[in-house]
Amino acid sequence: MRVNSFRWRLTLTYLAIAAVSIAAIGSYLLNWTEKYYTDSVRKQLRADSVLLVRIVSDDMGKGVDPDRLDRLAKTLGRTLNLRITIVNLPGVVLADSDYDPRLMENHRNRPEIRRALAAGFGTSVRASRTLHTTMLYDAAAVPNAIAPRAVVRVAMPLLGLAGLLDRIRNVFLVAMGLTLVLVALISLRVTGQIVAPISEMTAMARRIAGGEFSRRLRVRKGPEDEVFVLMGALNEMAERIEHLVLQLSREKSKVETVLRKTDDGIVVLDDHGQIQSVNPAAEMLFGFAESELVGKSVMEGLLHTELSQLAARTLSSGETGSLDVTVTSPKERLLSAHCAPITGSSDPDARPDGVALTLHDLTELKRISRVRRDFVANVSHELRTPLSTLRAMAETVALRFEDNTEAAAEFSTKIVGEVQRLTAIVDELLELAEIEEGKRGLNTRRIRVVELVERAVNACAADAARKQIGLDVSVDEDLELEVDPDAICQVVVNLVQNGINYTDTGGKVTISAQKSEGPALISVADTGIGISKADRERIFERFYRVDKARSRETGGTGLGLSIAKHLVELHGGSLSVESEPGKGSVFTISLPR
Ligand code: ADP
């Protein structure tokens, strides 16, 4: 128990109250006893003095004889068991029951004697110089006709009083000791009952402050006093806090999940414009980890003047702002930046506590809209050329070759050719649309790759032979894959056909696939014209052709690689190209096992 603890202080207070009360009663009782005792002795002595004055007066009436007086004093003293002293007016002791008066000093200045001389009677309590003990003296003047003749003094030691007072004092001291021990015990017990729940509540409050909300106080049965109510209130408070904290942490984790999963970059700044948090999308956009950015300003961290100015404007004005900006590193991107103030207070004019900078990546959107625009232009263009040709030829046939059947037949053949080309384009466009819409399902089954490749080679063999291009196959016999055979065969045919188309006579196209760890790789390599780096990035786009004339000659639509790429991706794989202009190209299909 600490010295300044509540329990200790309460006990000390009780002890002090008990001690002071007992001491007060004790001292009152001692005073009263002393007074009562002295008063009764005094009354007794007064009666004795009155009697003695009579006797001494009678004796003195016979003439003053000190020896006779002394004998009288000694006889009376013995009889009454008192000390009797007779003093004349100048204070000379004439007789004394206990001592030899001739040896005694002058008594004129004793207070009781002075008072008796002045007023007839006088009392005094004091230590006797002669007897060395506290005495009660009572003196009475022996009257004469005009003035007193002498003073008779009786004295009695107050021996019994001291003993009595000591007894009373001792009884009180013992009583006080016992009472204090009892008070201490009772007080410790009672305060213990009060303090124990307070200690429990203190411990609980500490736990709550330390973030532990699940514990509750055991509310004891008993009277519904203040402590009972307080314990209940504390439990209720803990319950509320726990509920609130849980709710808050749920909300927080929801917000965190949204921030973590969203595709938009989000940067939160504090009221000084310093970065507080950065979500993964923003880390990707700027190429910095959150830990590198926290605590820095937008300018220092993101190295972007326009964003820094946008954030500063929102911080100072408290108004939302938007801006399209470009970031160049780690990749060039077009971002739509939106800066909103974060305000905790309900006062609309208060300075914001920070700002949230949201960054939406427009690069892909822009690319898609460009691709769409290009596509519409390409389709119109692709269809327009054969349509005008068709129209011209049909008009020619109708106007000019009424009787020239041979020329008419030749033109008709051309018309059929153009119509076939148009049909091919439309068919391939439809196929592409089907794949993109997810309508093209996959009929997968386990198949040996060599079987697939042979099917493709057979389909292209005639064309290869016509151009005198060698077709080499180097495929592991037992390499098997779980794929849609028609789709993958179509891809391989397309790649081999391209190899033949873009390789000059006498060249070679090699199809290979070997067993290895990781994904299965089927590659089609040619010794053809190759593709420049700029074109390599675009050949998978719809209608993109490096050399339009050459592609047209071979009946190409510019859609083949686009379809091939989509089909491979439907399998969860990828299609890539490596090439060196003038030397040849290698297309590789990578398929997951
Ligand atoms: P196309 O029907 O014109 O062949 P593709 O989509 O199959 O259309 O190919 C797109 C373009 O990629 C072709 O026009 C050609 O310029 C280029 N290309 C494709 N394969 C090869 C190759 N093996 N060698 C060189 N260029 C190629």
Indicate if ligand 1 lies below 6 Å from the C-beta of 14. no
Whether 260 shows a pLDDT value over 70: the answer reads: yes
Quote the distance between the C-alpha of residue 155 and its chain's center: 90
What is the residue with the minimal CA distance to atom 16 of ligand 1? Answer: 546
SS3 track for 59-81: HHHCCCCHHHHHHHHHHHHHHHC
Ligand 1 pocket, mutate which of 375, 500, 502, 580 (most atoms under 8 A from CB): 502
For atom 14 of ligand 1, the residue with the nearest CA is 545
pLDDT of residue 564: 96
How sure is the predictor about 281, in pLDDT bands with cuts at 50, 70 and 90? very high
Average pLDDT over residues 503-520: 92
pLDDT for residue 194 is more than 90:
no
Tell me the per-residue pLDDT of 522-564, one tens digit each, with 9 for 90 and over. Answer: 999 999 999 999 999 899 988 888 988 887 777 788 899 999 9
**pLDDT reading at 313 higher than 70:** yes
Q: Is the CB of 497 inside a 6 Å radius of any atom of ligand 1?
A: no
Provide CB contacts within 8 A for 386, sequence distance 6+: 418, 419, 421, 422
Q: What would the mean pLDDT of 191-201 be, rounded to a whole number?
A: 83
State yes or no: pLDDT of 131 exceeds 70.
Answer: no
Q: What is the largest CA-CA distance in the chain?
A: 210
What pLDDT sits at residue 130? 63
How confident is the model over 372-395, as a mean pLDDT?
A: 82
Arithmetic mean of pLDDT over the chain: 89
Tens-digit pLDDT profile for residues 152-193 = 999 988 877 878 888 989 998 998 899 999 999 998 888 888
Does position 477 have pLDDT exceeding 70, yes or no? yes
Region 323-335: mean pLDDT is 91
Write the CB contacts of 416 (distance below 8 Å, at least 6 apart in sequence).
none
Of 93, 104, 156, 101, which Cα lies nearest the Cα of 130?
A: 104
Q: Which of ligand 1's atoms lies nearest the C-alpha of 546? A: 16
Instruction: Determine the pLDDT at residue 421.
Output: 81
Q: Is the pLDDT of residue 1 over 60?
A: no
- Ranked by mean pLDDT, the top range of 249-263, 368-382, 434-448 is 249-263
Please report how many Cα atoms fall inside a 13 Å half-sphere around the Cα of residue 456, on the Cβ side.
Answer: 32
Least confident window among 82-86, 113-117, 329-333, 533-537: 329-333
- Proportion of the chain above pLDDT 90, given as a percent: 54
Type and span of the H or E element at 290: helix 290-293
Residue-wise DSSP of 173-188: HHHHHHHHHHHHHHHH
- Per-residue pLDDT band for 459 (boundaries 50, 70, 90) equals very high
Pocket test for ligand 1, best of 471, 498, 535 (most atoms within 8 A of CB): 498
With a 6 Å cutoff on the Cβ, whether 498 touches ligand 1 is yes
pLDDT at 286 over 90: yes
Pick from 396, 322, 330: nearest CA to 363: 330
Closest CA relative to residue 131, chosen from 104, 108, 152, 161: 104
pLDDT of residue 530: 95
Share of the chain above pLDDT 70, in %: 98
Atom of ligand 1 minimally distant from the CA of 528: 24
pLDDT tens string 562-579: 999 999 999 999 999 999
**Angle, vertex CA 490, rays to CA 435 and CA 445, nearest 5:** 80
Instruction: Say what the pLDDT of residue 423 is.
Output: 85
**Confidence class of residue 228 from pLDDT cuts 50, 70 and 90?**
confident
The CA distance from 49 to 57, in Å, is: 12
**Residues 27-80: tens digit of each pLDDT:** 999 999 989 988 998 999 999 999 999 998 888 888 888 889 899 999 999 998
Q: What pTM was computed for the model? A: 0.48
Of 114-118, 417-421, 427-431, 492-496, highest mean pLDDT: 492-496
Distance 492 CA to ligand 1 centre (A): 13
User: Is the C-beta atom of 528 inside 6 A of ligand 1?
Assistant: yes
> 102: which DSSP letter?
G
pLDDT, greater one: 81 or 338: 338
Alpha carbons within 13 A on the beta-carbon side of 173: 6
